[in-house]
Amino acid sequence: MFTPLHHLKQRITHSLWEADPGYLHLRQGTRTLLASIITLLVCSWPGLYTRVLAGFAAGLVCQGISGINITAQKKTFTIATTALLAYFSLISYVSPYPLVIAIVIICASFSVFALRALGPRYALFPLFVWIMGFMTSLFPSATGTDFIMRLGCIALGCGISFLVYFYLLPPRPLSYFFENIRYFIILVHTRSLTLERQLHQPNPFKGKEKYSLTLRYSLRKYYLHNQTILASFEVADFTRKNLFLSLLASHYLAGKALLMLQDNLITLARGILIEDDQIKIALCQSLKELSAFTQNIDVRASSLKVILKDRTLTCLKSVSTLKELLEKSTLNTVDLVPLYQFINSLNELCDCLCAFAQEPILEAEEASYAQ
């Protein structure tokens, strides 16, 4: 009973990660929802309009945070909260005057787009501040004690948003960098088995464009996500920083090699070499060995390590077989080029996968992640 449930859980987890690496959008959406719900529950005593504005403000502030590290994100949050409270106060003050409030909202609309030129920090929150002001203009105005209570509830909502964002669901740790590597290795494993199965088909790689597009999408997704994660960390030790940059470079080269491996195999399957039973068997064996080779790589995200379970298994035996067949073949050199390129890409992919096993351990100054 445990095994089927365990496999189901793994499949769901893998599907979620494929759709949203690092759970970036899922985490951000959860933060926004939690901040709004907690604010509505805490602010139970004021009127309905005050509670709605407070919950709305808490969610907007969560969505507007940006920055490459934790310090920058906290600065953005402070600026966004101050701007939101100030703009809310201004809209509340001029709300009795329809002409004035129309002028203020129009001027603020142009200001939002002007502020975007100041840099990435101002890309999101000015728009959300403007939305907050627009929502405020639609609700009945509050004066005196009611205004102070409404302003206090909105400030409380922003404070709750701060706690949810930075402490309840904090920016993700560096371990997600290694999780992406782990899922990339799983991609190599599954893709090699898929390619091997295709070789046994009567018409292999029918619709080859589909294979290239899906693989390019997955490779780009994992690499860009890891690139963003690494850029968000401040590391005092440049040696360790270089180790992680080396891992990122290996990630890129391994993805490139996998893509070339697939392209070369598709070319082989369309040529005359595939008619040779020995070559076809050797190609299938190399893909099986590649899928088995990936299981020799152990990614330990919690300890920031990638290790080889058995360091003696760093070369595929099938590569030697393919080279022997290449040397014995009587075909023209031009006809043998795709097989030669396949062997090179297979060797390069294995070398890049082995390069992951450098066992670096990083102590980042800030466990931060760019949103």
Banded model confidence at residue 69, pLDDT cuts 50, 70, 90 = low
| Structure confidence at residue 3 as a pLDDT band (50, 70, 90) | low
CA dihedral 139, 140, 144, 145 (to 10 degrees): -70
Q: Across all residues in the chain, what is the average pLDDT?
A: 82
pLDDT at 244: 81
Q: Is the pLDDT of residue 365 over 50?
A: no
Bridge partners of 308, per DSSP, are: 297
CA-to-CA distance for 337 and 301, rounded, in angstroms?
A: 40
| pLDDT value, residue 364 | 45
| pLDDT score recorded for residue 84 | 93
Residue 183 and residue 21 in contact, taking contact as beta carbons nearer than 8 Å: yes
Crossing angle of helices 208-231 and 238-270, rounded to 10°: 180
- pLDDT (0 to 100) of residue 172: 64
Distances in Å between the alpha carbon of 265 and those of 1, 184, 219, 314, 316? 40, 20, 18, 22, 17
Higher per-residue pLDDT: 300 or 38: 38
- Over residues 112-123, mean pLDDT: 81
What is the average pLDDT across 206-216?
A: 75
371 to each of 40, 159, 222, how far by Cα in Å? 25, 19, 16
Q: What integer pLDDT is reported at residue 157 of this predicted model?
A: 94
Q: What string of DSSP letters covers 255-280?
A: HHHHHHHHHHHHHHHHSSGGGSHHHH
Could you tell me what percent of the chain has a pLDDT over 70? 87
Rounded to whole angstroms, what are the CA distances from 300 to 21, 308, 332, 357?
Answer: 17, 11, 47, 11
pLDDT band at 367 (very low <50, low <70, confident <90, very high): very low
The pLDDT tens digits of the residues spanning 275-334 come to 778 888 888 889 999 998 998 888 887 777 888 887 766 678 888 888 888 777 776 767
Intra-chain end-to-end CA distance of the chain, in Å:
39
Would the CA dihedral through 185, 186, 187, 193 be positive or negative? positive
Instruction: Give pTM, 2 decimals.
Output: 0.69
**CB neighbours of 262 closer than 8 A, spacing ≥ 6?**
191, 195, 211, 212, 215
Q: What is the mean pLDDT of residues 8-18?
A: 76
Which of these, 103, 102, 123, 105, lies nearest to 114 by C-alpha position? 123
Amino acid at 129: V
